[in-house]
């Protein structure tokens, strides 16, 4: 259960932030997930539901999952493009190898709204 451990670390992070802010409740959390992050979003939501409701601070927290489609950037022709396959090594526009992934593999707690 890969997603359960992710859900638990997200909850830990959220609780850390809540304690720093001395918050009694967290209203909402935004989680960014890239389509190539290797995460099953349904399983993640299911796990989060189970993890969050067992905690007093997190039990009414609304989860927003923000999904990012993959996006590549080519440093040679300076264009952004959506790759058609995952393990691409060349720009689909100019063929240069100097490319980087801008979005698609992220998995992070982006923000949270607390209630103090
Ligand atoms: Zn290019």
Q: What is the mean pLDDT of the chain?
A: 94
Residue 57 in tokens: 């601070």
Distance (Å) from CA 87 to ligand 1 centroid: 16
Measured CA to CA, the distance from residue 44 to residue 53 in angstroms comes to 14
Distance (Å) from CA 106 to ligand 1 centroid: 23
Distance (Å) from CA 104 to ligand 1 centroid: 18
User: Nearest CA to 88 among 77, 100, 79?
Assistant: 100
Distance (Å) from CA 72 to ligand 1 centroid: 10
pLDDT tens for 51-99 read: 999 999 999 999 999 999 999 999 999 999 999 888 888 999 999 999 9
Residue 1, pLDDT > 70, answer no
Distance (Å) from CA 71 to ligand 1 centroid: 13
Distance (Å) from CA 98 to ligand 1 centroid: 8
Distance (Å) from CA 97 to ligand 1 centroid: 8
Banded model confidence at residue 20, pLDDT cuts 50, 70, 90: very high
Distance (Å) from CA 16 to ligand 1 centroid: 42
Average pLDDT in the 18-28 region? 94
Q: Residues 70, 83: contact at Cβ < 8 Å?
A: yes
* Helices of type H across the chain: 2-20, 41-52
- Domains located in the chain, CATH noted: 2-115 (3.30.2320.80)
- CA 91: distance to chain centroid? 25
């Amino acid at each position: 259960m890969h997603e359960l451990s992710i859900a638990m670390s997200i909850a830990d992070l959220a609780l850390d932030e809540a304690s720093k802010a001395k918050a009694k409740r967290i209203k909402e959390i935004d989680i960014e997930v890239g389509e190539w992050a290797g995460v099953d979003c349904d399983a993640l939501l299911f796990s989060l539901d189970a993890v969050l409701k067992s905690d007093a601070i997190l039990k009414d927290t609304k989860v927003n999952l923000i999904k990012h489609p993959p996006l590549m950037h080519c440093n040679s022709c300076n264009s952004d493009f959506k790759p058609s396959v995952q393990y691409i090594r060349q720009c689909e526009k100019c063929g240069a190898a100097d490319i980087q992934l801008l979005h698609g593999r992220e998995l992070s707690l982006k923000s949270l709204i607390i209630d103090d």
